[in-house]
Amino acid sequence: MSANGNGHGKILHSRWWSALRKRSDPAGQDAAAYRRLALQLHLDLSQVGGRRSALLVTPGSSALCAHGSVAVASCLAEQVCRPVLLMDVCPENPEVSRILQSNGHRGFTDFLSDPKLRLDELALPTNCDNISFLPAGAAVGRKGKASLESVKAVLNAVEAKYEYVLLSGGSVLHDPTTLALAPHVGHVLLLVIENQTRMEDLDAAQDVLALCNARKVGLVFAKPVR
């Protein structure tokens, strides 16, 4: 890890970022698919007056959600050449924060508890152009549903500062924080993992997202991490 010297905390070293992207697509075969998804997100989220945030979730718990989130965020930043914030919004299982060695750093849960905190002091810069990262927060592992007011305040704050925001969530069926966020983002991406996602779980996840009035839900098909 290296310090950037500008008072914004540590830089997430590119070797960790690159390693995570490589694990999400070991053969490079899915790179074009991620780029197409990023371009479609750009078109969907750039509509005037709409939310500029997307939430990547799974029906059941899976580490692939973290890898997919990084790949999509990277491709989105490359496509639009504008500031993108990747947020780990899964405090019960903060996979992105673990891989990027950011556990224990203040982040999402702290901001959710006190939206008056300065986002500049919480978001970590990276060595990748136009990408910043907001860890899950110091209070990882906490349970309970976030308040509607806090969720809206956090989303308003991050969308005011960044062109696009990608939230790496957890299981729609088991994570209350993910479910609380789903109705308030511009797009929910439901990750379907080959030979892992059960059809009954996928159906249940789609039903839950419909009941909570998620604005737009898209399915993303992915292969397991090897």
110 three-class SS: helix
Torsions phi, psi of 187, nearest 5? -155, 135
11 lies in some domain:
no
Q: Indicate which CATH number applies to the domain containing 140.
A: 3.40.50.300
Q: What is the DSSP letter of 12?
A: B
13 lies in some domain:
no
16 lies in some domain:
no
Over residues 13-41, the mean pLDDT reads 60
Residues 204-224 have pLDDT tens digits of 999 999 999 998 998 888 777
pLDDT band at 167 (very low <50, low <70, confident <90, very high): very high
6 lies in some domain:
no
Rounded to an integer, what distance in angstroms lies between the CA atom of residue 42 and that of residue 53? 10
The answer to whether residue 20 scores a pLDDT higher than 60 is: no
Residues 50-73 have pLDDT tens digits of 788 999 999 988 888 888 888 889
172 lies in some domain:
yes
The answer to whether residue 137 scores a pLDDT higher than 60 is: yes
CB burial readout 35-69, b (16+ within 10 A) else e: bebbeebbebbeeeeebbbbbbbbbbebbbbbbbb
CB 158 within 8 A of CB 25: no
The answer to whether residue 7 scores a pLDDT higher than 50 is: no
Helix (H), strand (E) at residue 64:
helix 64-80
Q: Helices (H) and strands (E) in the chain — how many of each?
A: 8, 9
Report the 10 Å Cβ neighbour count for 137.
25
Rounded to an integer, what distance in angstroms lies between the CA atom of residue 179 and that of residue 38? 23
Query: What's the mean per-residue pLDDT of the chain?
Result: 81
Domain count, the chain: 1
Secondary structure E strands in the chain? 2-3, 10-11, 53-58, 84-88, 124-125, 131-134, 164-171, 187-193, 217-222
pLDDT band at 5 (very low <50, low <70, confident <90, very high): very low
8 lies in some domain:
no
pTM for the predicted model, two decimal places: 0.83
Residues 29-48 have pLDDT tens digits of 567 777 888 888 887 887 75
Which domain covers residue 125, as residue numbers?
A: 31-222
